[in-house]
Amino acid sequence: MFNKFLKKYKDEEKSNENVENKSLKDSEVEENASIDNIEKNREGFLSRFKKGLEKTKRGISDKVDDIIKSYQKIDDELFEELEEVLIMADIGFETTERIIEEVKDKVKERKITDANDIKLILKEELKEILEDVDGKNKLNINPYPAILLVVGVNGVGKTTTIGKLAYRFKEEGRKVLLTAGDTFRAAAIEQLGEWANRANVDIISHSEGSDPAAVIFDGIQAAKARNVDILICDTAGRLHNKKNLMNELNKIFRVVAREYPDANKEVLLVVDATTGQNAIMQAKVFKEACDITGIALTKLDGTAKGGVVFAVQSELDVPVKLVGVGEGINDLQDFDSEDFVDAIFPE
């Protein structure tokens, strides 16, 4: 979507250049400044994104390059080595098999004999797997009001992701409210409070050990009374077993359905990319406990196994909507499949 905006602005810029001796009015100067800002933001965004994905790039693209260099002709051994690289990058067995079969078919179809051309086909396949059909990778928050329930096991980055999101929505001019639904530890409430301060948004919290559904109930009442656009609710990751988890989440979901029926709902499962295939297991458990509508994949900057994005999207049938590429407040990006594949496969 960003590309479309950029193109629109660039087209306008071009048509402006065609008018000879046209002096710039104040509004045009401002517009040009905003074009510069958009381009700068886009550049900053892409460079942070690329930097965050550097390890995954080395784990996939650089290794594929090495293999291709060592093979003159295309044979089964080459495909076996490619398969190994993809599995090592945590793309997952099933998804890797699918990709390799498709690549083999295309090589045959297009009568490709030069090993160098395989990379392009591989890139095509990776993009296809992540393709955003009907904008399903976009957060479901429009029209407002919206409620975002953020779930996931402990330590995956839920609270951090909420903080980053709050900051971003606030910067975009939205009215944001946070709810400290992780009442398991006092520190969790404090941590969310710190993020609320940083993002300069309000927070609703109760004391440690109180009922999470009751905090979320209060959050919803406050959101309605204050005309909040986006209410974001933290939840506890430290639940001892699946039954506890299901009970607690079900209770929260009942409150949301009853108290905020008109709000757009997004149930965001946060998973930690550095845990690789374990992230897939967690997602499967949560999918049984509640209707996950999207995944935020965090800590992609800390792993060479960012290939897990492909496994998540193709094996779970839940769209990846956000990716975390660092601990900073700006290190959360909307997931864009084109940008992602281009970052891990630059050529």
Ligand X SMILES: Nc1nc2c(ncn2[C@@H]2O[C@H](COP(=O)(O)OP(=O)(O)OP(=O)(O)O)[C@@H](O)[C@H]2O)c(=O)[nH]1
Residues that bind Mg ion in the complex, under the rule CB under 5 A: 158-159, 188
Which tokens hold the place of 58?
A: 């080395």
Question: Nearest CA to 229 among 266, 189, 188, 270?
Answer: 266
From 59, 92, 157, 294, residue interacting with ligand X (rule: CB under 6 A): 157
**Angle CA(252)–CA(271)–CA(287) in degrees, nearest 5?**
50
Q: Give least dist CB 273 to ligand X, A.
A: 8
Interacting stretch for ligand X, rule CB under 6 A, among 93-101, 113-121, 243-251, 318-326? 318-326
From 59, 92, 219, 324, residue interacting with ligand X (rule: CB under 6 A): 324
C-beta closer to Mg ion: residue 158 or 168: 158
C-beta closer to ligand X: residue 123 or 299: 299
Under rule CB under 6 A, which residues in 99-118 are in contact with ligand X?
A: none
Q: Give least dist CB 331 to ligand X, A.
A: 6
DSSP result, 235-283: E-S--SSHHHHHHHHHHHHHHHHHH-TTSEEEEEEEEEGGGTHHHHHHH
298 scored as a contact of ligand X (CB under 6 A): yes
CA distance 268 to 296: 7
CA distance 341 to 347: 10
From 182, 266, 315, 336, residue interacting with ligand X (rule: CB under 6 A): 182
Collapsing DSSP to helix, strand or coil, 99 comes out as: helix
160 scored as a contact of ligand X (CB under 6 A): yes
Choose from Mg ion, ligand X, none: what does 301 bind? Cβ within 5-8 Å by kind: ligand X
Q: Give the number of other CB atoms < 10 A from CB of residue 187.
A: 10
Choose from Mg ion, ligand X, none: what does 299 bind? Cβ within 5-8 Å by kind: ligand X
158 scored as a contact of ligand X (CB under 6 A): yes
DSSP result, 150-207: EE-STTSSHHHHHHHHHHHHHHTT--EEEEEE--S-HHHHHHHHHHHHHHT-EEE---
Q: Give least dist CB 56 to ligand X, A.
A: 13
Under rule CB under 6 A, which residues in 222-281 are in contact with ligand X?
A: 237-238
Q: Which residues bind ligand X (CB under 6 A)?
A: 152, 154-160, 182, 188, 237-238, 298-299, 301-302, 324-327, 331
